[in-house]
């Protein structure tokens, strides 16, 4: 069966510090991968998605970037965090076909102080 | 712009009653519809998917879709305190694309013992 791992679970970072969140999927090949952010009162916002190694699409211009160095690995990064980057970050995967359901990792609660 | 609208609640329902959650969407070309349950501090968990007009039942859950009215609903029969959570409606608004789902902000459901 497929599983998705995301870490760390919580993170407290000062403004201006870098960020790296990692997500890996097991039990499937060539998944579509996604990074969402959930901020209070704003719902789930799609940040990046990837249909293959090295292929990244950005939905919202921002202080963040994403990379997919391996088929089942997705990384969210920032060079300098802003206060507004605080939120609950969720990695998700779906099968490589349209209209398919998303399965989420356990999430990272990021607080930028 | 793709939009998914839900009443934020809280919706309070007595234990054993039927909870009815509603969702409307703006993109008439949407083809796939999902309901997720999210407990406080946890990631969303898929509970129902529906792709064609009508009702789809799974245990105590029934999803209803009316594409002409651009309306999706979720019924929870015999509501239990463990059903207390935020329910997110999600739509794949581009019909076959890999660009993820658009989520509503969620309805906070409280089941009163």
- B92 contacts on A by Cβ (under 8 Å): 98-100
Residue pLDDT tens, chain A, 113 long: 889 999 999 999 999 999 999 999 999 999 999 999 998 877 899 999 999 999 999 888 678 999 999 999 999 999 999 999 999 999 999 987 665 889 999 999 999 99
In this structure, of A77-81, B26-30, B42-46, B91-95, the range with the lowest mean pLDDT score is B91-95
- B44 contacts on A by Cβ (under 8 Å): 44, 90, 104
- B96 contacts on A by Cβ (under 8 Å): 98-99
- How many angstroms separate the CA of residue A56 from the nearest CA in chain B? 11
- A102 contacts on B by Cβ (under 8 Å): 34, 46, 90, 100-101
Kindly state the average pLDDT of the residues B69-85.
97
| A 21-80 near B (Cβ less than 8 A) | 32, 34, 36, 41-44, 46, 49, 51, 57, 59
Q: What is the pLDDT of residue B78?
A: 98
Closest residue on chain B to A39 (Cα): B105
Q: Which of B100, B83, B99, B80 is nearest to B34 (CA)?
A: B100
Q: What is the pLDDT of residue A95?
A: 87
Which position has the token pair 């997500």? A23
Q: What is the pLDDT of residue A61?
A: 67
Q: How far apart are CA A105 and CA B14, in angstroms?
A: 32
State yes or no: pLDDT of B109 exceeds 60: yes
**Residues 6+ positions from B46 with CB-CB distance below 8 Å:** A101, A102, A103, B34, B35, B36
Verify whether the Cβ–Cβ distance B105 to A43 is below 8 Å.
yes
Q: How far apart are CA A38 and CA A44, in angstroms?
A: 5
């Amino acid at each position: 069966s497929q599983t998705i791992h995301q870490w760390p679970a919580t993170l407290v970072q000062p403004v201006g510090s870098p960020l790296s969140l990692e997500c890996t999927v097991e039990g499937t090949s060539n998944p579509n991968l996604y990074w969402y952010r959930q901020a209070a009162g704003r719902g789930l916002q799609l940040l990046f998605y990837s249909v293959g190694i090295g292929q990244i699409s950005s939905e919202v211009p921002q202080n963040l970037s994403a990379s997919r160095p391996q088929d089942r690995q997705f990384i969210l990064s920032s060079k300098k965090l802003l206060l507004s980057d605080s939120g609950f970050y969720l990695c998700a995967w779906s099968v490589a076909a349209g209209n398919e359901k998303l399965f989420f990792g356990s999430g990272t609660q990021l607080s930028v102080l | 712009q793709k939009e998914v609208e839900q009443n934020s609640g809280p919706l309070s329902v007595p234990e054993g009653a039927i909870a009815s959650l509603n969702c409307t969407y703006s993109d008439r070309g949407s083809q796939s519809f999902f309901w997720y349950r999210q407990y406080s501090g946890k990631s969303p968990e898929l509970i129902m998917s529906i792709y064609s007009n009508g009702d789809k039942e799974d245990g105590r859950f029934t999803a209803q879709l009316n594409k002409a009215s651009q309306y999706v609903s979720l019924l929870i029969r015999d509501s239990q305190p463990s059903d207390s959570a935020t329910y997110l409606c999600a739509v794949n608004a581009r019909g076959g694309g890999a660009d993820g789902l658009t989520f509503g902000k969620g309805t906070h459901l409280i089941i009163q013992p």
